[in-house]
């Protein structure tokens, strides 16, 4: 589907399927039978959907196919993003991710489930599947976040294998960077490929995962938005979910994913909510000219939206056996 048609269709569907307060208000005037049918339509979306940031075809297909077979939203999202965590050619996620400026690869990830539970790991070394590790924090500890060595030791206790995340290629690229090591924490089109994934399963439940090696050659200990619930990812199963990629510091300052879900709660479409979240950043000053941020979002009725600052962001959408790469609309048309 062309981008233009996509937006048109999304907004047309939005007329009849607004989520949250507005549909419930309308429902007050309906008969009991119609009310029940309306609730079923909202909560029992039989067509599973997987969306993820960027052109991660295989990862999104994996999640979409699992959803189609009946797997739950969170398990599907984690299985999907694991493809990129294990892809050593991807220099911004998992094994093969660019190291910090001292040569250590440190990973960040979070997951959020449809029951509102979440887990997160920050600055973890030597573990590839950090989204699964974030899930274990959620299910196997009384906590939400584990950081650094504590997260790594917890991983070994959970049976994760120790792995060297610095590949020959990423080591060589870092050594080249060291020849003129300018510290410029700007995220451009070439060096941000965090995978954030949102899944809507056959039961109509939404969950998501977000996993990254963060900014290339970052300061030791730097953590961005990706593992921070509300910034890199947020889910409210009554409303929808959102994920972010790009300049994490700016997403953190506006709690972008939470903002999008709250805007949808107040009646906005996923598309409108992503646009407003980008506007919160671009309206502050003109520093946005130097960095990219992109959001994708889904609501309970399966409408999808996406918006970014600069041209170039794409995302994947799997539905009904089709896995499409869609060009996002963007703010800076100057």
> Which residues of the shown chain bind ligand ASP in the complex (CB under 6 A)?
92, 187, 192-194, 212, 214-215, 224-226, 245-246, 248
According to DSSP, residue 141 is labeled S
- Give the nearer residue to ligand ASP in terms of CB position, either 64 or 214: 214
- Give the nearer residue to ligand ASP in terms of CB position, either 68 or 234: 234
Minimal distance in Å, beta carbon 212 to ligand ASP?
A: 5
Minimal distance in Å, beta carbon 143 to ligand ASP?
A: 22
Q: Annotated catalytic, 194?
A: yes
Q: Is 40 in contact with 17 (CB distance < 8 Å)?
A: no
Phi, psi angle pair for 206, to nearest 5°: -115, 135
User: What's the CA gap between 106 and 232, in Å, rounded?
Assistant: 17
Residue of minimal CB distance from ligand ASP? 248
Catalytic site residue from 18, 91, 92, 194 = 194
Minimal distance in Å, beta carbon 201 to ligand ASP?
A: 25
- Give the nearer residue to ligand ASP in terms of CB position, either 67 or 198: 198
Minimal distance in Å, beta carbon 192 to ligand ASP?
A: 3
- Give the nearer residue to ligand ASP in terms of CB position, either 215 or 326: 215
User: Which positions ≥6 away from 51 have C-beta within 8 Å?
Assistant: 60, 197, 198, 296, 298, 304, 315, 316, 317, 318
User: What's the CA gap between 32 and 35, in Å, rounded?
Assistant: 5
Minimal distance in Å, beta carbon 263 to ligand ASP?
A: 20
Minimal distance in Å, beta carbon 115 to ligand ASP?
A: 26
Q: Is 247 in contact with 140 (CB distance < 8 Å)?
A: no
- Give the nearer residue to ligand ASP in terms of CB position, either 170 or 226: 226
User: What's the CA gap between 275 and 295, in Å, rounded?
Assistant: 9
104: left (phi over 0), alpha (psi -120 to 50) or beta: beta
Other CB atoms within a 10 A radius of the CB of residue 3 amount to 13
User: What's the CA gap between 221 and 274, in Å, rounded?
Assistant: 29
- Give the nearer residue to ligand ASP in terms of CB position, either 74 or 244: 244
User: What's the CA gap between 260 and 268, in Å, rounded?
Assistant: 9
What is 86-109 written as a DSSP string? T-TT-TTSSTT----TTS---EEE
Instruction: List, by residue number, the catalytic residues.
Output: 194
């Amino acid at each position: 589907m062309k981008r233009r048609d996509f937006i048109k269709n999304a907004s047309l569907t939005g007329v009849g399927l607004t989520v949250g307060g507005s549909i419930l208000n309308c429902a007050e005037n309906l008969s009991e039978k119609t009310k029940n049918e309306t609730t079923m339509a909202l909560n029992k979306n039989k067509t599973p959907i997987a969306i993820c940031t960027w052109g991660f075809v295989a990862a999104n297909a994996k999640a979409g196919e699992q959803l189609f077979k009946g797997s739950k939203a969170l398990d599907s999202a984690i299985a999907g993003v694991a493809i990129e965590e294990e892809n050593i050619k991807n220099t911004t996620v998992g094994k093969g991710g660019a190291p910090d400026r001292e040569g250590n690869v440190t990973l960040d990830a979070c997951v959020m489930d449809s029951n509102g539970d979440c887990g997160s790991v920050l600055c973890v070394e030597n573990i590839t599947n950090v989204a699964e590790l974030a899930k274990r924090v959620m299910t196997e500890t009384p906590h939400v976040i584990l950081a650094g060595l504590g997260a790594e030791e917890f991983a070994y206790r959970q049976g994760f294998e120790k792995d060297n995340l610095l590949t020959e290629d990423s080591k060589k690229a870092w050594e080249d960077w060291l020849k003129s090591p300018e510290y410029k924490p700007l995220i451009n089109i070439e060096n941000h490929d965090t995978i954030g994934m949102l899944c809507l399963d056959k039961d109509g439940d939404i969950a998501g995962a977000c996993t990254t090696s963060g900014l290339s050659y970052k300061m030791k200990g730097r953590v961005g938005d990706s593992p921070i619930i509300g910034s890199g990812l947020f889910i409210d199963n009554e409303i929808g979910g959102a994920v972010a990629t790009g300049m994490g510091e700016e997403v953190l300052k506006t709690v972008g994913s939470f903002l999008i879900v709250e805007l949808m709660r107040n009646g906005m479409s996923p598309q409108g909510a992503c646009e407003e979240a980008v506007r919160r950043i671009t309206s502050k000053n003109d520093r946005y000219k130097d960095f990219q941020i992109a959001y994708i979002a889904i609501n309970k009725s399966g409408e999808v939206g996406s918006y970014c600052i600069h041209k170039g962001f794409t995302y994947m959408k799997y539905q009904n056996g089709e896995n499409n790469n869609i060009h996002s609309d963007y703010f800076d048309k100057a």
